[in-house]
């Protein structure tokens, strides 16, 4: 008690000043509209600040509950997607080339196994013969060409990856339509090589490389990659380095391509060759 009295006596001037200051502020704010507006505005700002901090704290402690809700929703969506994929109508979607009259059909698939660190890489897909998949069909992602189907079972198929030293594809430079043979040298999974391009062809780094359409597997114009500008000269041709559009380490969703007129094309070409 004595300490409290000593404190009050010691700071009586300051305490009296603060009390009078508070009384003056109350009288000013209550007697003038402008001062009331400023006072209430400041009070709202302070209260809003603390209310926002309080709500942020509440949200933080609700994160676990929100995360659980998202997990549950994802499980429901994944189950619905799987049920839709198992429906009988989930087959090839046909797209017709109105200029050439030929058509291609497309079937969505998911990559369930894949490799990029071998000389001969393959891609396993969750689509098989019961979905209409046969050997010789093309495989591509939204980013670019991925491979060709070489093995099929009832529920699964295996594609030879573009990252396979046995893979060959006819590809053309979209800016000038010069075409060559695309292959992978077994080194960097992000780059392939385009050979058989004549010396006189002007190429620019960044030129887009697409499927030429000369193959019976892929339609014309599917993106493959872009030219880096690096080239090797030898004989009458140069070999150009291509940065692949598809990142094979992230390959997840692809589509299987079927050329609806391939049998007819293969038959007539075989007849002419054998004559």
For each of the domains in the chain, give its residue range(s) and CATH number, in order of start: 2-61 (no CATH), 95-274 (2.40.10.340)
More confident residue, 61 or 254: 254
Chain segment 63-121, per-residue pLDDT in tens: 666 666 676 666 666 566 655 555 554 566 666 554 454 588 889 899 999 999 999 99
pLDDT of residue 89: 47
Structure tokens at 200: 């006189």
Overall average pLDDT of the 245-263 stretch: 89
pLDDT of residue 247: 93
- What is 173-192 written as a DSSP string? ETTT--EEEEE--SS-TTEE
81 touches 91 (CB < 8 A): no
Residue 139: pLDDT band with limits 50, 70, 90:
very high
Predicted model pTM: 0.64
Overall average pLDDT of the 14-41 stretch: 61
DSSP at 110: E
Overall average pLDDT of the 200-216 stretch: 88
pLDDT of residue 78: 59
Chain segment 120-132, per-residue pLDDT in tens: 999 999 999 999 9
Find residue 231's DSSP bridge partners.
Answer: 240
Tokens 């502020």 belong to 25
φ and ψ of 240, to 5 deg: -105, 140
More confident residue, 222 or 268: 222
Instruction: Say yes or no to pLDDT of 208 above 70.
Output: yes
pLDDT of residue 215: 81
């Amino acid at each position: 008690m004595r300490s409290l009295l000593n404190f009050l006596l010691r700071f009586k001037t300051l305490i009296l000043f603060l009390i009078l200051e508070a009384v003056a502020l109350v009288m000013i704010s209550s007697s003038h509209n402008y001062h009331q507006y400023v006072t209430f505005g400041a009070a709202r700002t302070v209260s809003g600040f603390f209310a926002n901090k309080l709500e942020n704290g509440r949200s933080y402690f609700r994160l676990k509950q929100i995360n659980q809700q998202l997990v549950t929703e994802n499980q429901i969506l994944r189950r619905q997607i799987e049920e839709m994929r198992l429906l009988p109508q989930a087959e090839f979607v046909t797209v017709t080339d109105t200029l050439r009259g030929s058509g291609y059909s497309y079937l969505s698939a998911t990559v369930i196994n894949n490799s990029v660190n071998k000389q001969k890489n393959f891609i396993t897909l969750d689509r098989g013969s019961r979905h209409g998949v046969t050997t010789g069909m093309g495989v591509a992602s939204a980013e670019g060409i991925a491979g060709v189907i070489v093995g099929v079972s009832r529920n699964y198929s295996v594609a030879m990856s573009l990252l396979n030293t046995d893979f060959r594809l006819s590809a053309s430079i979209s800016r000038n339509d010069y075409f060559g043979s695309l292959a992978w040298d077994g080194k960097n999974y992000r780059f392939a090589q385009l050979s058989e391009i004549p010396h006189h062809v002007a190429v620019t780094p960044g030129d887009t490389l697409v499927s030429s359409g000369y193959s019976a597997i892929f339609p014309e114009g599917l993106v493959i990659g872009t030219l880096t500008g690096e080239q090797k000269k030898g004989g009458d041709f140069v070999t150009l380095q291509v940065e692949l559009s598809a990142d094979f380490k992230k390959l997840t969703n692809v589509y299987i391509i079927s050329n609806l007129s391939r049998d007819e094309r293969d038959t007539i070409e075989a007849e002419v060759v054998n004559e």
